[in-house]
Amino acid sequence: MGVPAVVLAAGEGTRLRPLTRNRPKPMLPAANKPILSYVFDGLIEAGVTDITVVVGYKRSRVQDHFGPNYRNVPLQYVVQDKQLGSGHALLAVEEEFDEPFLVVYGDQIIASSIIGDVLNAMNENDAAATLGVLDHNRVEHYGGVILDDGGVTDLVERPEDEREYQLNAGVYGVKPAIFEAIRNAEPREGEHSLIDALSWLVDSEETVAGTVTGGLWVDATYPWDLLEVSRDLCLAGVVGESREERIDDSANVHETAVIREPVVIGPDCEVGAGAVLGPYACLGENVTVESNAVVDDSVLDSDTRVGPNATVVDCVTGQGAHIGAAATVPGGPGDVRVGNRVFEDEQLGAVVADRAHVEGGVNFAPGTMIGSDATVYAGTTVRGTIADETVVR
């Protein structure tokens, strides 16, 4: 029997609003399927056959989509009623585990090789916890690890000092002692963090090992990151190495449409005459791109419709979004407001969230965010953040 895995998929992903208004972050699109699909794929390809998924925020979106099995591997669901941190989420499965197990996040896409290396290291050491560690140049945005002769001496979230950090890949092999560590670690802002629990083990002089590994590792923190995630998946060949593998057999692509590789076209898509797709255009299930429309470097989620002669560049849509005829999303860079922060010069043309309806001839300023169920009337110019259910005339 192999080592079982726990996937933490209970959080909302507030920094990805408005895309997470109706579903949790792990269900957002990467290329043309949910991020969580790639997490399950990585586990299964590494040999894991026992998967427990901790769900919480909008949990029915996960359970209804995946059901009781994925690729013939059973999925067990455990509910975290209140989202009080990654450590708190792990406590929800405490009664299920009395042997070592694997923990991964449901919103980070990680190569099966990384998971396999952690599993091998777990089998070879007697550490209380084993972390996958990557040489990565973006540690300041994520989690940093200080290693000394294979042992973890420090774990820091978003480090800002000048020490030589490696990246915490978010793949953990742990013993059941992790549950005591979670309870003993001091909560921060009311949340119990798995990282704080691992730091508590280090401070208690328990052995926490790090295994240096490599492979695809991508994470989406903000809406524009979904564009980079899809690009990385295309470049890595994860969504199919050939055009035939990336275009579903049930898609209907007009013979005069221009396809600029790489693109990903999901089931039941319609691409009209003279449309231009790509590079890096990713169409989810049942997306329609009408005649002479241009879609470039964009992720269009299921049931999105792009009207004739529209131009859509650097755009992320939710499910059921509508971008009308001759509308123009010119692409980034633009300034984007997320909560109380403004991010300058991000490569984002627009976000058009679930069921937002943009009529014909609308012009988007770079970095525009259109909330769920919003309506933008024909011929207007939109910029900034448009709240959910707002009407713009």
Nearest to 24 by CA among 37, 39, 9: 9
Give the Å distances, CA to CA, from 97 to 6, 85, 88, 100, 228.
10, 19, 15, 8, 36
**Domain 5-219 and domain 244-392 have a common topology:** no
- Among 78-82, 326-330, 382-386, the least confident range: 78-82
Q: What are 113-133's pLDDT values in tens digits?
A: 999 999 998 888 888 888 888
Domain 5-219, CATH? 3.90.550.10
Give the Å distances, CA to CA, from 251 to 247, 272, 296.
7, 11, 18
Give the amino acid at 245. E
Enter the DSSP assignment of 96.
G
Phi then psi dihedrals of residue 112, to 5 deg: -60, -25
Summarize the confidence of residues 11-34 as an average pLDDT: 90
Nearest to 142 by CA among 207, 218, 200, 37: 218
Q: What are 284-325's pLDDT values in tens digits?
A: 999 999 999 999 999 999 999 999 999 999 999 999 999 999
Question: Residue 238: pLDDT above 90?
Answer: no
Would you place residue 198 in the very low, low, confident or very high pLDDT band (cuts 50, 70, 90)?
confident
In whole numbers, what is the pLDDT of the chain averaged over residues?
89
Question: Can you tell me which residue has the tokens 């029915």?
Answer: 60
Question: Residue 5: pLDDT above 70?
Answer: yes
Element housing 264 (H / E): strand 263-265
Q: What are 346-371's pLDDT values in tens digits?
A: 999 999 999 999 999 999 999 999 99
Cβ-contact 29, 282 below 8 angstroms: yes
Q: What are 172-189's pLDDT values in tens digits?
A: 988 888 888 888 877 777
Tokens of 230: 């899809």
Question: Residue 388: pLDDT above 90?
Answer: yes
Question: Residue 244: pLDDT above 90?
Answer: no
- Residue 137: what pLDDT? 65
Candidate CATH numbers 2.160.10.10, 3.40.50.300, 3.40.630.40, 1.10.3720.10; the one for domain 244-392:
2.160.10.10
Buried b (16+ CB within 10 A) or exposed e, 191-207: ebbbbbbbbbbbeeeee
Q: Which residue has the higher pLDDT, 39 or 81?
A: 39
Question: Residue 160: pLDDT above 70?
Answer: yes
Percentage above 70 pLDDT, the chain = 99
- Among 34-38, 158-162, 289-293, 296-300, the least confident range: 158-162
Secondary structure of residue 336 in the 3-state scheme: strand
- Among 115-124, 204-213, 327-336, the least confident range: 204-213
**Cα 33 → chain centroid:** 10
- Residue 241: what pLDDT? 73
Question: Residue 376: pLDDT above 90?
Answer: yes
Using CA atoms, how far apart are residues 295 and 278, in angstroms rounded to an integer? 6
Using CA atoms, how far apart are residues 387 and 235, in angstroms rounded to an integer? 34
- Domain range list for the chain: 5-219, 244-392
Q: What are 45-102's pLDDT values in tens digits?
A: 999 988 999 998 999 999 999 999 999 899 999 988 887 888 888 888 888 888 889 9
Percentage above 90 pLDDT, the chain = 55
Using CA atoms, how far apart are residues 246 and 266, in angstroms rounded to an integer? 8
